[in-house]
Amino acid sequence: MSRTGLHSLIGPNGAGKTTLFNLLTGIVPADGGSILFESQPIENLAPHRRARMGLARSFQILSVFPNLSTFENVRIAVQAAERQWFGFWRDAYDNETANTRVWSLLDAVGLADRAADQCASLSHGEKRLLEIAVSLATDAKLLLLDEPLAGLAESDRKVVGALIQKLATSHAVFLIEHDIDRVLAMSDRITVLHQGRLIADGKPAEVARNPEVIAAYLGQAHGTSAAIRVHRAPAVETAPRPSIAPLLQLESVRAGYGGGTVLQGIDLMVHASEVIALLGRNGVGKTTALRTITGTLPPGAGRVIFDGREVTRLRPDAINRLGISLVPEGRRVFPNLTVQENLKLAWRPGGATQDEICDLFPRVRERMRSRAENLSGGERQMVSIARALMVVSLVIVDHHAESVLAMADRAYVLVNGRVAYTGSAADLAANTPLQERLLGVAPVPVQELAVEGAA
């Protein structure tokens, strides 16, 4: 990596991006190999020693002191960098050298006019800027920025993005970011990880055209040439759905974490006996939408209506008893209970019976008396889905387009917390260029962020 410039690290969920940052900063020890920084091996150094050498990192979750002022947050970092371990015994405002450094850093990130304000009163975007100022206070040579644009409104994304580009002219910046459009526009170089393996590295235009990268984001068929592209069966025409109230409806829902907004006012509906594909790149709000529906994340605005009843402010257990269940990405079965005990705990009146589950998953019948900890990964996934079906007949699926669109009636695609496509799943499956723009690594033109298919 060069001494200046913006180098971005991208890849699907679980690719190993944050693990790589943890290895670089010493939070996770390496099992093998070497890590060199300025030609010096650092794989055996403690995290604080790496920081003193010039590695500075910001995290996905904001790590500033909310009850201190903006100025005080940066001053603490400056004092730590200067190793003023006994600075708390003296009046900090008398340290002219440190205070001049603080003002310089606040000015660099555009927060000088908010110096006296308590950090808790800053916007989410301003907190991101403050965190970058704290990172710079260590005289960093390499800035490791872990999703600095996550949860930011579009206006804040522009401000923070512009600052990152400015910093890249004087620092080496290594960036993890899910906003692929900005990554392609900003970066000097891009590295792509998939399932812990490096699959591409180079200029943004080269990476965006790489077949392995396209396949990692969209599925194997998209990474092949047109001559050998997997054949899709023609769409089957179905009778239009009657004009009845939807089973599930989201109206102008906004939601996020720690003051940031991920969902930017989305509308979504699901009818009874309908399968909906909820798609989008990493970090656009798919999991946030599911958490909002199930009540584990209260929305900041908007309404969630299920079966004619508003459930926006209900507790998750109350929403579950009404008939909404989430199949989590991590399966989360009870390892010390048998399959049968896992299912019995989940059953609610109106849900699928054990016999119906066994007809659907014959393997579950065979493993009914086995402890969940002894199941294979695939068997645990069956139990996780079965447990959800014993509560409700509605399961929202989130996965790659290639595997989901074939089984879905309609599809929604999220881009940066907004619905960029809603319409027929078959139409989206047949429109490869649109899939690659909305779900792959090709940049999405601004005018296409409000695409609507046939509803």
Task: Give yes or no for a contact between 184 and 441, defined as CB atoms under 8 angstroms apart.
Answer: yes
Q: How many degrees, rounded to 5, is the angle at CA 380 between CA 257 and CA 11? A: 45
Task: Report the C-alpha gap between 69 and 130 in whole angstroms.
Answer: 11
With tokens 């990692």, the residue in question is 216
CA 327 – CA 349 distance, rounded (Å): 19
Domains of the chain, start order:
5-209 (3.40.50.300), 248-448 (3.40.50.300)
What residues contact 154, with CB distance under 8 A and at least 6 apart? 416
Rounded to 10°, the helix 96-108/70-81 angle is 120
The predicted pLDDT at position 390 comes to 65
The total of other beta-carbon atoms located within 10 Å of residue 84's CB is 17
Q: Is 278 exposed, middle or buried (0-12, 13-18, 19+ CB in 10 A)?
A: buried
Over its length of 455 residues, how does the chain's per-residue pLDDT go in tens digits?
A: 778 899 999 987 778 888 899 999 999 899 999 999 999 999 999 998 998 898 988 876 677 888 999 999 999 888 887 776 555 566 666 678 888 999 999 998 999 999 999 988 888 888 889 999 998 888 889 999 988 887 777 788 888 999 999 999 999 999 998 888 888 889 999 999 988 899 999 999 899 889 888 888 766 555 543 322 333 333 334 444 545 788 899 999 999 887 778 898 999 999 887 888 888 877 788 888 999 999 999 999 999 999 999 999 999 889 888 878 777 665 677 888 888 888 887 776 666 788 888 887 888 888 888 888 787 767 777 887 777 776 554 445 544 676 678 778 889 998 888 899 999 988 998 888 888 888 876 655 544 444 445 44
Rounded Cα distance, 324 and 379, in Å: 22
What pLDDT is attached to residue 40? 93
pLDDT at residue number 347: 73
Contact 7, 172 (CB under 8 A): yes
